[in-house]
């Protein structure tokens, strides 16, 4: 990290003292276990991990990539972090993110962008670009990201690593700073599929502190890691192969589908007809929820406070200076969509279309076990290339946001390179609580 991160900027905060203290404890547990193997060694003992800076780690500042939380130190661990800690993991620090996870390139971070380790002129994707770059550059063994519309899977694809978005509710959101509460999920970003299964195993499961967490018990995900695909039905949706996508991406994904067939899978075409409404639906629902969630940053309870003459001045100064331009854009979009007179036309309509998108998947998953498609329509784009045009940036999520709207799970695994040596991601989507299926297909393919 010392050697590479001044250039890559995958981390916002590095915590060497805490990490070394945790490592010493892990060493002590290991020594004790060597002496007496009847004692138990926690499953991730001493494994160095990085945590996206929208997830609370006790005693370490959690900036969310924003000036408004630059000095906010949470006094508690997120449930996912507490479970990793309990499992013996060592935390190296907090990784860079688009401000409040709003973005697809990590360029919306108030602390400057992260570079893609494969080519430093390119973005790492986002918003969990810091976590994906840190894993790709060996600046940690694995990381947590968050995925509201693709922010685990898309940066994993652009950085040539594995990223898994669990089913909505599979992982507790307690201690995750809320962006779009009905869409947000924490997920692992790792070097390979087995590591993703191992991390998911620890962080998944019901949590009394998150009423939306699934009560279902967590299966043993490593049982799903078998090397063939006999009996698996793999759906391919034509809606995910669109004109304008990078031809090398389409070629790599189609080749990957042939490999799945060689591994024994039956390949079936499935239709997801409402896909074309996903982007506008997402960009109404996510900003609407964000505008409500961000109301808490008022300069009173915590975070930045710029004192004004009146309380209104304090709000205006704190929020006006604390939030960056993309966050302000989302607050305006969301507030508009929720306001009286527009609510029915925008927010309510978007919720109805969301149901149609979910039903598309439910129908498709009656016929197939998983659905495969590209993770991103392009490989990593240039730093600065899309910052002036929000719509171009939003298009980066076109293949990933449907899974969040439908609440289903998905994983991105590397499936080749473009002509410039930039990695391409294969996306495997599964039904709600279908993590074992997507892990099985991803593992067999990898
Ligand atoms: N890029 C999408 C957005 O800006 C998704 C981000 C995410 O998944 N956190 O909303």
Residue 160: how many CB atoms within 10 A of its CB?
25
Query: Do the beta carbons of residue 181 and residue 293 sit within 8 Å?
Result: yes
Q: How many domains does the chain have?
A: 1
Residue 290 lies in a domain: no
Return the bridge partners of 252, or none.
none
Average confidence score pLDDT of the chain: 97
Which range of residues forms the domain containing residue 367? 5-274+355-445
Q: What percent of the chain has pLDDT over 90?
A: 97
Residue 423, phi-psi category: left (phi > 0), alpha (psi -120 to 50), beta (remainder): beta
Q: pLDDT category, 65, cuts 50, 70, 90?
A: very high
| Res 40 pLDDT > 90 | no
CA of 259 to the centre of ligand 1 (A): 30
What confidence tens digit (pLDDT) does each residue in 327-367 have? 999 999 999 999 989 999 999 999 999 999 999 999 999 99
What pLDDT, on the 0 to 100 scale, is given for residue 243?
87
Q: Which of 149, 283, 381 to mutate to test the pocket of ligand 1 (most atoms within 8 A of CB)?
A: 149
Atom of ligand 1 nearest to the CA of 148: 8
Q: Which of 102, 187, 289, 398 to mutate to test the pocket of ligand 1 (most atoms within 8 A of CB)?
A: 102
Atom of ligand 1 nearest to the CA of 282: 10
Residues near ligand 1 with C-beta < 6 Å?
101-104, 127, 146-151, 179, 286, 397
Q: Which of 95, 127, 158 to mutate to test the pocket of ligand 1 (most atoms within 8 A of CB)?
A: 127
Residue 288 lies in a domain: no
Atom of ligand 1 nearest to the CA of 128: 9
CA of 13 to the centre of ligand 1 (A): 22
Residue 56 lies in a domain: yes
What confidence tens digit (pLDDT) does each residue in 386-404 have? 999 988 899 899 999 999 9
Atom of ligand 1 nearest to the CA of 101: 9
Q: pLDDT category, 322, cuts 50, 70, 90?
A: very high
Residue 312 lies in a domain: no
C-alpha span between 57 and 61 (Å, rounded): 8
Residue 373: how many CB atoms within 10 A of its CB?
23
Q: Is 65 helix (H, G, I), strand (E, B) or coil?
A: coil
Residue 319 lies in a domain: no
Residue 38: how many CB atoms within 10 A of its CB?
5
* Direct distance between the N- and C-terminal alpha carbons of the chain, in angstroms, rounded to an integer: 28
CA of 117 to the centre of ligand 1 (A): 21
CA of 221 to the centre of ligand 1 (A): 27
Query: Do the beta carbons of residue 273 and residue 393 sit within 8 Å?
Result: no
Residue 135 lies in a domain: yes
DSSP for 204-272? BS--TT-TTS--SPPP-GGGG--S--TT-EEEE-GGGS-TTS-HHHHHHHHHHHHHHHHTTPEEEE---
What pLDDT, on the 0 to 100 scale, is given for residue 244?
86
CA of 17 to the centre of ligand 1 (A): 32
Residue 106 lies in a domain: yes
Q: pLDDT category, 419, cuts 50, 70, 90?
A: very high
| Res 39 pLDDT > 90 | no
pTM (two decimals)? 0.98
Q: Which residue, among 64, 63, 61, 82, has the nearest Cα to 73 in the 3D structure? A: 61
Q: Which residue, among 120, 129, 62, has the nearest Cα to 91 in the 3D structure? A: 62
Can you state the angle between helices 435-445 and 193-203, rounded to 10 degrees?
A: 160
Residue 334 lies in a domain: no
Least confident of 14-28, 29-43, 182-196, 368-382: 29-43
Query: Which CATH number goes with the domain that contains 364?
Result: 3.90.1300.10
What confidence tens digit (pLDDT) does each residue in 262-305 have? 999 999 999 999 999 999 999 999 999 999 999 999 999 889 99
**In this structure, what is the dihedral angle of CA atoms 412, 416, 422, 423, given to the nearest 10 degrees?**
10
What pLDDT, on the 0 to 100 scale, is given for residue 66?
98
CA of 394 to the centre of ligand 1 (A): 8
Atom of ligand 1 nearest to the CA of 147: 8
Query: Residue with the nearest Cα to atom 5 of ligand 1?
Result: 149
What confidence tens digit (pLDDT) does each residue in 227-272 have? 999 999 999 999 999 888 999 999 999 999 999 999 999 999 999 9
Structure-block tokens of residue 50: 């990085």
| Res 13 pLDDT > 90 | yes
C-alpha span between 89 and 49 (Å, rounded): 7
Query: Do the beta carbons of residue 156 and residue 211 sit within 8 Å?
Result: no
What pLDDT, on the 0 to 100 scale, is given for residue 320?
97
| Res 155 pLDDT > 90 | yes
ipTM entry? 0.97
Q: What percent of the chain has pLDDT over 70?
A: 100
Q: Which of 52, 65, 98, 334 to mutate to test the pocket of ligand 1 (most atoms within 8 A of CB)?
A: 98
Strands of 126-209, DSSP E: 142-147, 162-165, 185-190
Active-site positions read 52, 127, 151
CA of 34 to the centre of ligand 1 (A): 45
C-alpha span between 184 and 179 (Å, rounded): 7
What pLDDT, on the 0 to 100 scale, is given for residue 292?
97
What pLDDT, on the 0 to 100 scale, is given for residue 301?
87
């Amino acid at each position: 990290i010392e050697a590479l991160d001044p250039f890559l900027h995958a981390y916002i905060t590095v915590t060497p003292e805490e990490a070394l203290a945790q490592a010493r404890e892990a060493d002590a547990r290991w020594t004790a276990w060597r002496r007496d193997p009847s004692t138990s060694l926690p499953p991730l003992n001493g494994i160095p991990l990085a945590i996206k800076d929208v997830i609370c780690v006790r005693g370490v500042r959690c900036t969310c990539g924003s000036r408004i939380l630059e000095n906010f130190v949470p006094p508690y661990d997120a449930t996912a972090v507490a479970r990793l800690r309990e499992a013996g993991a060592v935390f190296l620090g907090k990784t860079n993110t688009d401000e409040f996870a709003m973005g697809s390139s990590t360029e919306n971070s108030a602390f400057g962008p992260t570079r893609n380790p494969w080519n430093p002129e390119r973005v790492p994707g986002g918003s969990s670009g810091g976590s994906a770059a840190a894993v790709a550059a060996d600046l940690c063994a694995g990381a947590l990201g968050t995925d509201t519309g693709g922010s685990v899977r898309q940066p994993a694809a652009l950085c040539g690593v594995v990223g898994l978005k669990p089913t909505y509710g599979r992982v507790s959101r307690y201690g995750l700073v809320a962006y779009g509460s009905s869409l947000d999920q924490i997920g692992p970003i790792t070097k390979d599929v087995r590591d993703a299964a191992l991390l998911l195993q620890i962080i998944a499961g019901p949590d009394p502190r998150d009423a939306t967490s699934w009560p279902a018990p967590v299966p043993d995900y490593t049982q799903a890691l078998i090397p063939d695909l006999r009996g698996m039905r793999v759906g391919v949706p034509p809606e995910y192969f669109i004109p304008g996508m990078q031809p090398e991406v389409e070629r790599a994904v189609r080749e990957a589908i042939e490999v799945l067939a060689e591994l024994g899978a039956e390949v079936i075409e499935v239709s997801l007809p409402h896909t074309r409404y996903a982007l506008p639906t997402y960009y109404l629902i996510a900003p609407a929820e964000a505008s409500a969630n961000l109301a808490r940053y008022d300069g009173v309870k915590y975070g930045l406070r710029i004192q004004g003459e009146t309380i209104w001045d304090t709000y205006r100064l704190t929020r006006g200076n604390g939030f960056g331009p993309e966050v302000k854009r989302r607050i305006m979009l969301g507030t508009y969509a929720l306001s009286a007179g527009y609510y029915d036309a925008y927010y309510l309509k978007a919720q109805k279309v969301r149901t149609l998108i979910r039903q598309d998947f439910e129908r498709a998953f009656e016929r197939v076990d998983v659905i495969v498609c590209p993770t991103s329509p392009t490989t990593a784009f240039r730093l600065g290339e899309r910052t002036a045009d929000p719509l171009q940036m939003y298009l980066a999520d076109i293949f990933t946001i449907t899974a969040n709207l439908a609440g289903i799970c998905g994983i991105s695994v590397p499936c080749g390179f473009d002509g410039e040596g930039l990695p391409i991601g294969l996306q495997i989507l599964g039904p709600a609580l279908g993590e074992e299926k997507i892990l099985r297909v991803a593992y067999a393919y990898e």
